[in-house]
Chain A
Amino acid sequence: MSVKVIIPTPLRVYAGKADSIDVSAKTVGEALGQLTSKFGDLRKHLFTEEGKLRSFVNVYVNDEDIRYLSKENTPTKDGDTISIVPSIAGGLP
């Protein structure tokens, strides 16, 4: 299943400046696995050492939060978009 993974600005530096990559994956977990295989530096920003998704990073399939779907087992189909949305705090300085 051809899926686009959108990489948010704060993490692009760890993904060779790419703003999105296309992967072939049947689930969100597979897609993120492929992303971090391709860009090893991304791994520690997305996952804890135990391999769990970090709690300040949210992942969406299209516009739905995977926490309310099947988390990393959420199936993906052709043309789906996976968005990684980390918390950002900038506003003032």
Chain B
Amino acid sequence: MSTKVQPITSQPSTAEKATTLSNEEILRYSRHLIMPEVGMEGQLKLKNAKALLIGTGGLGAPLGLYLAAAGVGHLGLVDFDVVDFTNLQRQVTFGSDDVGKPKTAAAQARLSNLNPDIHIETFETKLTSDNALELFKNFDIIVDGTDNFPTRYLVNDACILLGKPNVYGSIFRFEGQVTVFGMRDGPCYRCLYPEPPPPGLVPSCAEGGVLGVLPGIVGSIQAMETIKLILGTGESLKGRLLLFDALAMKFRELKLRKNHSCPMCGDHPTITKLIDYYEFCGVRGEEAPGPDVQVPEITPRDLKSRLDRGDDLFILDVREPHEFQICNLNGHLIPLGELPRRVHELDSSREIVAHCRSGKRSAEAVDFLRKAGFRKILNLKGGILAWSDEVDPSVPKY
């Protein structure tokens, strides 16, 4: 895994600040220029601004599009991932023929087409403590569109150490949060959340799902805040946490105070360099979505063999009803959250195989049942996804 910073640029970089707009630029940005809040002066500020987008996914898509459209002169895109088919539900910079391509390259192509006049630098790399400071230092504003706690703390800390604003946005299912950290007398991420949740306690997007348009809205708000900061206009979200509930269509605002005892940005900071964020977040070794509960397992192939042999196995499905509708193994459905209340539906004298989508929730179910005294219980390793891969490809994956 390379962590070395290797930018791939689309337009030659100019070290000098631009002081004029070409006739073509004036025409392109006419709708900006006719507003006194922007004008020539504002457009030049945008042209000379350098914004680094961490993540070119759900949030990064509207961010990249709107910042490019607005004429932010220098955009950096950081992402190590490739476009996946499941991304197209919300990552609107990409098209169907981008599947399999590196996200930074696909995004760069799209954004350059939208605005060939701006300079787009791509960093197809994972952001780490080794490269963050080097990467950030050449940019004015950092926009956090990442998807995991270790990186959020890393982005925060690097911004505080370098004195750069951090336009923060995060989402979960149909809720979003937006604010601006890293301003001189404003709070930082650690003021709000001094510690991350232990892994597995807060479901990730991949487990929880997300309404595709939600990052579109939240990312657009981040783009708006970025543009306002560049122009120096309006009131930024510094010191305010904007909460958005898409289902209720309600915006709320909470006050975010700078914690003067904050170890990162307080009056007497104790953190003066980047740390190991995976360790901080309790995720050891590889990036793990959650702690692995050690329980007895059965592989899909072995399960199939035993069922074919006529073994009397009770299949327990701990997914949600709407998942059962997508595909199922004809199991007895007790969603994980309901298991404690419905454990009487299970016969501990029978051999039970528990499954879910990928094997994580069912591992928790097996752990719970073993602690409740069940002795003949196995977890289907890899869940129904692995069943589809190894036994029956006609079972759809989701």
Contact = CB atoms under 8 A, between A and B. Distances in A.
A93 B254 contact: no
A56 B173 contact: no
Interface of A: 8-10, 13-14, 19, 41, 45, 54-56, 58, 60, 63-65, 67-68, 83, 85-93
21 contacts: A8-B175, A9-B174, A10-B173, A10-B203, A13-B337, A54-B197, A60-B254, A63-B252, A63-B254, A68-B257, A83-B252, A88-B177, A88-B202, A89-B147, A89-B170, A89-B202, A91-B60, A92-B55, A92-B145, A92-B205, A93-B205
Contacts of A8: 175
Interface string B221-249: 00000000000000000000101010010
Classify the interface of chain A: helix, strand, loop or mixed.
mixed
A88 B165 CA distance: 20
Given A90-B205, A91-B146, A58 B172 contact: no
Given A68-B257, A90-B170, 17 more contacts: A10-B203, A56-B197, A58-B192, A58-B193, A65-B255, A65-B256, A87-B202, A89-B148, A90-B147, A91-B147, A91-B215, A92-B57, A92-B59, A92-B81, A92-B146, A93-B57, A93-B205
Contacts of B148: 89, 92
A55 B256 CA distance: 15
Contacts of A68: 257
B170 A88 contact: yes
A60 B215 CA distance: 25
Nearest to A40: B340
A89 B59 contact: no
B257 A90 contact: no
A93 B206 contact: yes
Contact of B254 (A9, A54, A85, A86): A85
A92 B58 contact: yes
B198 to A, nearest CB: 9
Nearest to B144: A91
Q: Name which of A64, A92, A93 has the most chain B CB atoms within 10 A of its CB.
A: A92
Interface string B186-214: 00000011111100011111101010000
Interface in B235-282: 241, 243, 245, 248, 252-257, 259
A89 B177 CA distance: 9
B300 interface: no
Contact of A55 (B169, B193, B208, B241): B193
A65 B147 contact: no
A88 B201 contact: no
